[in-house]
Amino acid sequence: MIDLYTWSTPNGRKVSILLEELELPYRTFPVDITKDEQFAPGFLAISPNNKIPAIIDPDGPDGQPLHLFESGAILIYLAEKHGRFLPKEGRGRAEVLEWLMWQMGGFGPMPGQVHHFIALENEVDRAYGLQRFMAETRRLYGVLDRRLAGHEFVAGALSVADFAILGWAWRHERHKVSFADFPHVGRWYDALMARPGVKRGMEAKLD
Ligand SMILES: N[C@@H](CCC(=O)N[C@@H](CS)C(=O)NCC(=O)O)C(=O)O
């Protein structure tokens, strides 16, 4: 049974989606990041970067418990361990990792900045931040839309890269993106959200 330390955020949802798609049993431990619970010493021992999500797998690679933070590392670990949603080798694996890293480095940090600046009260700070990070967020949606114009999923068969990107696309309204402008993303999003495993991952109580 995996222990999942999380909160109901895009990075948190990536892992609950994968756990549900893999039909793995897990226990959820909410870490209320609005109350700074991510800085509690007990949580820092698992996630020294004071961010959710993190997991503990009691049955780690050497038979010993493994704790892991960074959502991308968690997705790769669970996919490899259970032999699904990440090809073992070759071009297919390289492409999934390419799009997973694209999400981790851009399609997450950039819309995350929109979420930050949109909530600021200082008009000058807010205007500059939104101008910069909304433009970059829209650029990334354009990259994804062009990719999905010729591909059913982002990299070969359905993979952890799709789940990682979905976690952030789930918050498109909050970062003021309409799928009317990115129709291929909209088609992909609807197909993924209709999957029973994805639905359970999105609806799981994480807070
Ligand atoms: N690169 C990290 C980012 C995790 C992250 O930003 N988590 C946010 C919630 S989505 C968090 O825990 N924020 C609390 C904080 O920054 O103190 C990952 O993908 O796991």
Phi, psi of 99 (to 5 degrees): -75, -30
**136 in ligand 1 pocket by Cβ < 6 Å?**
no
From 48-52, 61-65, 110-114, the region with the lowest mean pLDDT: 61-65
Asked if residue 51 has its Cβ within 6 Å of ligand 1, the reply is yes
- Looking at residue 201, its pLDDT comes to 98
Average pLDDT over residues 28-48: 97
pLDDT of residue 95: 98
Q: What is the pLDDT of residue 96?
A: 98
Q: Once rounded to an integer, what is the mean pLDDT over residues 125-136?
A: 95
Dihedral class, residue 159 (left if φ above 0, else alpha if ψ from -120 to 50, else beta): beta
Closest CA to 83 of 155, 14, 161, 159: 159
Beta strand pairing call for 66-69 and 54-57: antiparallel
| CA of 11 relative to ligand 1 center, distance in Å | 7
Q: Which of 11, 31, 104, 115 to mutate to test the pocket of ligand 1 (most atoms within 8 A of CB)?
A: 11
pTM of the model: 0.97
Nearest CA residue ID for atom 2, ligand 1: 70
How far is it, in rounded angstroms, from Cα 64 to Cα 76?
19
**Would the CB of 8 count as within 6 Å of ligand 1?**
no
Asked whether 6 lines ligand 1 (CB < 6 A), one says: no
| Residue 38 near ligand 1, beta carbon < 6 Å | yes
Q: Going by CA atoms, what residue is nearest to atom 12 of ligand 1?
A: 51
Which residue is it, tokens 């870490």?
31
Atom of ligand 1 nearest to the CA of 50: 17
Q: How confident is the model at residue 119 (pLDDT cuts 50, 70, 90)?
A: very high
Contact partners, residue 5, CB within 8 Å, separation at least 6: 29, 31, 43, 46, 47, 52, 53, 54, 55, 56
Per-residue confidence (pLDDT) for residue 116, from 0 to 100: 96
Q: How far apart are the first and last CA of the chain?
A: 19
User: What's the pLDDT tens digit per position in 74-104?
Assistant: 999 999 999 999 999 999 999 999 999 999 9
| 3-state helix vs strand vs coil in the chain, percent to 5 | 55, 10, 35
pLDDT of residue 184: 98
CA–CA separation, 123 and 36 (whole Å): 26
User: Where does the pLDDT of residue 16 fall: very low under 50, low under 70, confident under 90, or very high at 90 and above?
Assistant: very high
CA 32 to chain centre: 18
- Percent of the chain beyond pLDDT 90? 99
- Ligand 1 atom 13 nearest Cα: 51
- The per-residue pLDDT for 113 is 97
Tokens of 83: 């032999």
